[in-house]
């Protein structure tokens, strides 16, 4: 564990946030195969957890992290697919549901923080529309394409105990 301190500009107030780096569960830990439950309300506890998940993801480093990867069986994912030379663009997504997914697929080399050094090419919907609760417990919708679409689908799979390597064996069957 490590901890570090960061200032966030939050509703025009500067809030002191202490974020923790959480241990990341690695395969084949059975926690990764469990199904996560919905979050009833996004409260302070959930907000703190999402800040810790982002800190953990950035430190790894990675572009996405799902709550079960830090041993929390709740439907929460965090993502930031901004490139190194771009401004950070953290997404905090609670109870995500896919409303629409394109038939057209896009293939990316995927990695997973629970499988260090594994990279696998997987075809997923090129575009998705997803509804979710944001960090203020508000219902939101996002349209994603490219790497963001793939990343959202990868992280959402984690919430149902599905791992990227499961897609491979499925295709080979």
Q: How far is the CB of 120 from Ni ion (least distance, A)?
A: 11
**112 or 152: CB nearest Ni ion:** 112
Q: How far is the CB of 83 from Ni ion (least distance, A)?
A: 19
Q: How far is the CB of 136 from Ni ion (least distance, A)?
A: 26
Q: How far is the CB of 89 from Ni ion (least distance, A)?
A: 19
Instruction: Determine what percent of the chain falls in helix, strand and coil, rounding each to the nearest 5.
Output: 25, 35, 35
Chain centre to alpha carbon of residue 148: 10
70 contributes a contact to Ni ion by CB under 5 A: no
Contact assessment for residue 66 and residue 76, using Cβ atoms and an 8 Å cutoff: yes
Would residue 9 be called left, alpha or beta, if left means φ above 0 and alpha means ψ between -120 and 50 degrees? Answer: beta
Q: Say which DSSP state 114 is in.
A: T
155 tagged catalytic: yes
**40 or 166: CB nearest Ni ion:** 166
| Cα separation, 96 vs 131, whole angstroms | 6
**17 or 106: CB nearest Ni ion:** 106
Number of residues that bind Ni ion (CB under 5 A): 1
**4 or 119: CB nearest Ni ion:** 119
| Cα separation, 67 vs 73, whole angstroms | 6
- What sections of 99-162 are H helices per DSSP? 146-159
Contact assessment for residue 130 and residue 97, using Cβ atoms and an 8 Å cutoff: yes
Q: Tell me, residue by residue from 99 to 138, as one string, x for binding to Ni ion by CB under 5 A and - for no binding.
A: -------------x--------------------------
Catalytic residue among 48, 110, 141, 155: 155
For 64-75, the DSSP string reads EEEGGGGT--BS
Question: By the criterion CB under 5 A, which residues form the site for Ni ion?
Answer: 112
Residues involved in catalysis:
155
């Amino acid at each position: 564990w490590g901890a570090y301190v960061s200032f966030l500009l939050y509703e025009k107030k500067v809030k002191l946030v202490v974020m923790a780096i959480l241990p990341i569960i690695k395969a084949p830990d059975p926690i990764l195969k469990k199904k996560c439950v919905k979050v009833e309300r996004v409260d302070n506890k959930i907000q703190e957890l999402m800040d810790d998940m982002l800190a953990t993801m950035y430190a790894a480093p990675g572009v996405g992290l799902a709550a079960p990867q830090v041993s929390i069986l709740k439907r929460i994912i965090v993502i930031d697919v901004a490139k190194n030379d771009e401004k950070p663009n953290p997404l905090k997504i609670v109870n995500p549901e896919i409303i629409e997914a394109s038939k057209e697929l896009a293939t990316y080399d995927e990695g997973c923080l629970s499988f260090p050094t594994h990279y696998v090419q997987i075809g997923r919907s090129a575009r998705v529309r997803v509804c979710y609760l944001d960090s203020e417990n508000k219902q939101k919708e996002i349209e994603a394409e490219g790497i963001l679409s793939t990343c959202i689908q990868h992280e959402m799979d984690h919430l149902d105990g599905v791992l990227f390597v499961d897609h491979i064996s499925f295709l080979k069957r």
